[in-house]
């Protein structure tokens, strides 16, 4: 499982995306799952990081899901029209 940090804002996005891409390369499961439960402080950059991680996973032939997406981030994903790209595990 890929675990997101407690804080994921514009300042943290590039480093977090690199960390997740590295972790994704070591994952052996057919579905990459990002655990968003640690997220406490975030902005729309968190969506960009998740979508980047999804793109990387799909390029590796894996499906992608997000566990424990905070309601506020789920709502933001809906506003941007990308909520369906970030399904919960089992729904992907």
Average pLDDT over residues 54-74: 96
What is d(CA 3, CA 27) in angstroms, rounded to the nearest whole number?
A: 12
The 10s digit of each residue's pLDDT in 8-48 is 999 999 999 999 999 999 989 999 999 999 999 999 999 99
DSSP character at residue 87: P
Look at the domain 2-85 and name its fold.
Transcription Regulator spoIIAA (3.30.750)
Do 37 and 74 meet the contact criterion of CB atoms below 8 Å apart? no
What is d(CA 63, CA 15) in angstroms, rounded to the nearest whole number?
A: 23
Question: Domain locations in the chain?
Answer: 2-85
Q: pTM of the predicted model, to two decimals?
A: 0.93
Does an H or E element contain 79, and which?
A: helix 71-80
């Amino acid at each position: 499982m890929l675990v997101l940090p407690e804080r994921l804002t514009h300042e943290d996005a590039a480093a977090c995306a690199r960390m997740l891409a590295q972790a994704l390369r070591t994952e052996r499961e057919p579905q990459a799952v990002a655990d968003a439960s640690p997220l406490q402080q975030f902005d729309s950059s968190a969506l960009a990081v998740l979508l980047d991680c999804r793109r990387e996973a799909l390029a590796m032939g894996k499906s992608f899901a997000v566990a424990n997406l905070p309601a506020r981030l789920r709502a933001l994903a809906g506003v941007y029209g990308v909520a369906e790209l970030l399904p919960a595990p089992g729904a992907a």
